[in-house]
A = this chain, B = another copy of it.
Amino acid sequence: MKLVTAIIKPHQLDEVKEALEAFGIQGMTISEAHGYGRQRGHSEVYRGAEYTVDFVPKSRIEVLVDDMDSSSVVDVILKAAQTGRIGDGKIWVVPVEDVARVRTGERGVEAI
């Protein structure tokens, strides 16, 4: 199992969510973050205003997936989050050793 984490532009969240659902993903976790990449956020535009501070608001998406879906899920997020402008986002994949579904107590792939 893998955990795919994506830091994207907040206004792309709906598009990413819909693309993940179309792919068959059944759950995800979202949180608010701030960040910057290679341009230190300086030239990023957020809600029509140029941000002069370093840290630009971002959405942080976490998706637990089966091993075989991991690379496709990165592709799905990549395509749905892309606007072609700087600050579009970063995605990373981390190995997961165990998953549990709290209500049922299931463990492993069945629990995702």
A: residues with CB less than 8 A from B are 1-3, 6-8, 17, 26-38, 54-55, 58, 60, 64, 70-71, 74, 77-78, 81-103, 105, 107, 111
- Which residues of chain B are near A28, meaning CB under 8 Å? 35-36
- Which residues of chain B are near A86, meaning CB under 8 Å? 103
Q: How far is the CA of A80 from the CA of B55 in the complex (A)?
A: 19
B78 and A60 contacting across the interface, CB-CB below 8 Å:
no
A90 and B74 contacting across the interface, CB-CB below 8 Å:
no
- Which residues of chain B are near A58, meaning CB under 8 Å? 29
Count chain B CB atoms within 10 A of each CB in A8, A101, A102 and give the residue with the most.
Answer: A102
A97 and B100 contacting across the interface, CB-CB below 8 Å:
no
A95 and B95 contacting across the interface, CB-CB below 8 Å:
yes
A95 and B94 contacting across the interface, CB-CB below 8 Å:
yes
The answer to whether A89 and B102 touch (CB under 8 A), given A31-B34, A54-B17, A97-B2, is yes
B102 and A88 contacting across the interface, CB-CB below 8 Å:
yes
